[in-house]
A and B are shown apart, each in its own frame.
Chain A
Amino acid sequence: MQTCSQKPHASHSSSVPASGSSVNRAIALRIKRNAAQRLSGGTALLILLGLAAMLSVAFGAREVGWSEIVAALSGQVETMGDAAVASRLPRTLLAMLAGAALGVSGGVMQGLTRNPLADPGLLGVNAGAALAVVIGIAWFGIDETTSYIWTAIAGAAISACAVYAIASLGRGGATPLRLALAGAAITAALSSLTTAVVLPRGDIGGLVQSWLVGGVGGATYDQLLPVLPFLMTGFVITLLAARKLNMLALGDDTAAGLGEKVAVARAMSAVGAVLLCGPITAVCGPIGFVGLVVPHACRLLAGGDYRWLLPFSALGGAVLLTFSDVAGRLIAHPSELDVGIVTAFIGAPVFIWIVRNRKVGSL
């Protein structure tokens, strides 16, 4: 074994010229400008969200006047119009919550897999939740929101693990491309299984079919309340994981070199994402593309820092899903188009745009 000897030149350690205040000023300026940009972006999203909520309460199959909206909002339900508006309140809340949860969940999955195409729908997580719920309905006769939620979370978690395990097989580990392929394969397999479970069951066919499209129509407070604790936990975990996602974005080796436990970071983010999209799938059915589109749009406003991107994705998702729900009611008036169909119409072109304009795996 060799011995070590200190070289004389290594003794003085601080002779690199000091930074210079111009750099500090540039940094301060940059930080200020970023903050200003985020502030205006965030304000715009909040205004849009307020607008979407108002439209969602005001428009629907039955045309209502201002007096009826005001009456319903203040808790008086006397006329048919009042009742219609009152029934739109939980629906609007659910649309906002579902959009926020799916937006954050998509952003987390994109960061976790470093894959711009990641989305609870595309990675097989929603399909897993859907299959679990359908099996629960068909074979075990579950009919309570809480049991739907737990079943969906279990299904989402199992399929997320399966996709990750399949993508990790062989040398090189779970690259973004492998994850996307494994996600597509698992989604296809789970969807056919879901069909196979439902087909022989004429008694539940109608119920499951309408649920499988994904919608927030007919939402009640009884459905909404059990979801809340899961979503709150999910939001807190994902926000705590945001710094870790910033590190994962630099590649696993760099993240580890910067003191991040890569496996812990992945697991924590994944748990948060599943807690967000599983319960939403349980209540609304699988709603696609929100988790894909929203984080990409929010990157333009908030930049790539997940500590900002995730809250922005929550707002953006709420805006997108609420507007989509309103659009679904207006387009098919006096009937309704489920919000899952509307988001697919918006999301599919964006999906194609992302594939054509970006290198997959460049996150």
Chain B
Amino acid sequence: MSACSLLAQGLVAGYGERTILYDVNLSVPAGQTTAIVGANACGKSTLLRVLSRLLTPSQGSVLLEGNAIHQLPTRHLAQQLGFLPQSPIAPEGISVLELVSRGRHPHQGLFKRWSSADEVAVADALAATHLSELAERHMDELSGGQRQRVWIAMALAQQTKVLLLDEPTTFLDINHQIDVLDLLTDLNRQRGTTIVMVLHELNLAARYADQLVAMANGKVYAAGPPGEILTEQMVREVFGLESRVIEDPVTGKPMMIPIGRHGGIHTANAPCSQHKKAPCFG
């Protein structure tokens, strides 16, 4: 198990009286990209919050390289594990450089001031996210896709081995979604950063993840390589959706095509008479 980065065992967690996760077991392979998918309210964001220690489970534990994260000193954990929430807040008037620099917080102390290591880490993070040219700009002048890159740069400056992201592509146009996911893949391949992210878009998750984790009703329904996990049966049982799963002509990964009630010509042999107003070529 030495190549295991994060290991969740028997997690039970929730908010107040409401339990959201029931007995979740999950292992995150080191140096890989893991995507967590599932229907709304299945507990995927809650799981990410427990993995990042924002939420303490009522039962079970999360081990980071063998150490229980809920017992590690906060700053010590933040040097190893980064977390980017779904909607982080950019203080008014803050520049890209200032924001990325705040990622160095866990490496600085009260009396340990800005060091050359900090400077190198920040410059590195800006270069890796192609933001060097924008370092002087204010956050409010940037597009949504650029802003998301800045947040990722901040997490990079933190220089953690593991990076957790909650829906990093939400609210972005499709080109920026691909841009962000490509960037995360670069980080994973070039730096060996272990990435765990919650993703809404099933096909993008299957495309970019080494390990796909499907959650349903507060449990892990299945976890493994996308080719094994993304099946028509999984989509039916996890999302309650009829679909076809075909091979993505670009990547060779599985691709899910929903059928829906107004589904296409190759699915149910719906008689033409039921669709009088629509032209029917069946």
Contacts and interface: CB of A to CB of B under 8 A. Distances in A.
A16 interface: yes
A3 B4 CA distance: 8
Interface string B119-138: 11011101110001001100
Contacts of B135: 23, 26-27, 30
Q: Which range contains the number of A residues in contact with the other chain?
A: 35 or more
Contact of B94 (A1, A10, A251, A304): A304
Nearest to A251: B89
Given A4-B5, A4-B29, A257-B155, 9 more contacts: A16-B191, A19-B126, A20-B123, A23-B126, A26-B132, A28-B119, A257-B164, A258-B78, A259-B74
A11 interface: yes
Contacts of B190: 12-13, 15-16
B127 A16 contact: yes
Contacts of B83: 253-254, 256-257
A61 interface: no
What does DSSP make chain B's interface, helix, strand, loop or mixed? Answer: mixed
B186 to A, nearest CB: 8
Interface stretch (B103-111, B236-244, B270-278): B103-111
Contact of A10 (B122, B186, B192): B192
B54 A4 contact: no
Contacts of B92: 116, 304, 358, 362-363
Contacts of A358: 92
Interface residues of B, number: 67
B224 interface: yes
Name, among B3, B155, B158, B187, the residue most crowded by chain A CB atoms within 10 Å (CB to CB): B3
Contact of A6 (B3, B78, B87, B223): B3
A303 B119 CA distance: 20
Contact of A256 (B54, B93, B136, B223): B54
A253 B123 contact: no
A2 B89 contact: no
Contact of A257 (B85, B187, B224): B85
Interface stretch (A141-149, A239-247, A312-320, A341-349): A239-247
Given A5-B3, A27-B122, A254 B85 contact: yes
Given A10-B32, A259-B78, A260-B105, A19 B192 contact: no
Contact of A243 (B31, B105, B155): B105
A249 B54 CA distance: 17
Contacts of B28: 4
A-B interface, 3 closest residue pairs, ranked by CB to CB distance from nearest? A10-B31, A259-B78, A257-B83
Nearest to A246: B102
Contacts of B3: 4-6
Interface of B: 1, 3-5, 25-32, 52-54, 74-79, 82-85, 87-95, 97-99, 102-103, 105-106, 108, 110, 119-120, 122-124, 126-128, 132, 135-136, 155, 158, 164, 186-192, 210, 223-224
B54 A254 contact: no
A2 B93 contact: no
A15 B75 CA distance: 27
B89 A114 contact: yes
A299 B105 CA distance: 21
A13 B191 contact: yes
Given A4-B4, A5-B29, A23-B135, A250 B52 contact: no
A363 B135 CA distance: 21
A10 B32 CA distance: 7
15 contacts: A2-B223, A7-B210, A16-B127, A23-B123, A23-B132, A28-B119, A116-B92, A250-B102, A253-B88, A254-B84, A256-B52, A257-B78, A259-B77, A304-B93, A363-B91
A240 B110 contact: yes
A22 interface: yes
Contacts of A254: 83-85, 88-89
